[in-house]
Amino acid sequence: MSYLVKWTERARVDLKRLYAYLLDRDEDAAARVLELIAQSVVLLEDFPFSCRKALGGNALLREMLVPFGSSGYVVLFRIDSETSVTVLAIRHQREDDYH
């Protein structure tokens, strides 16, 4: 079974914000992060239940860790149905929360 992966506007804004932050410091790292997150999200097309449950008790709300260097990123997503998944937000692991 394959899931359709959708993105919320908030998740797109998060990705742009994280990219812009890195772009000011290291253009190559910024490009690598975009590619890494894109490749990681592809995993959700086939294995969304392999990711850890997010806090809050909702079994369909999950987080995917995306390692990068000494830390990484966390992708918050929701399993909507048997055919779709929605990326809700992305943050750096050193950020406090998703907003």
Closest CA to 17 of 66, 48, 9, 86: 9
Q: Provide the residue range defining the domain that includes 25.
A: 4-92
Q: Which two tokens stand for residue 42?
A: 């592809």
Instruction: Report which residue type is found at 82.
Output: E
- Which pLDDT tens digit goes with each residue over 36-89? 999 999 999 999 999 999 988 899 999 999 999 889 999 999 999 999 999 999
- Is 66 contained in some domain? yes
- Is 97 contained in some domain? no
- Is 99 contained in some domain? no
Counting the structural domains of the chain, the total is: 1
User: Per-residue pLDDT averaged across 5-28, rounded?
Assistant: 96
- Is 98 contained in some domain? no
- Is 73 contained in some domain? yes
Domain with 78 in it: what CATH number? 3.30.2310.20
State residue 96's pLDDT score: 74
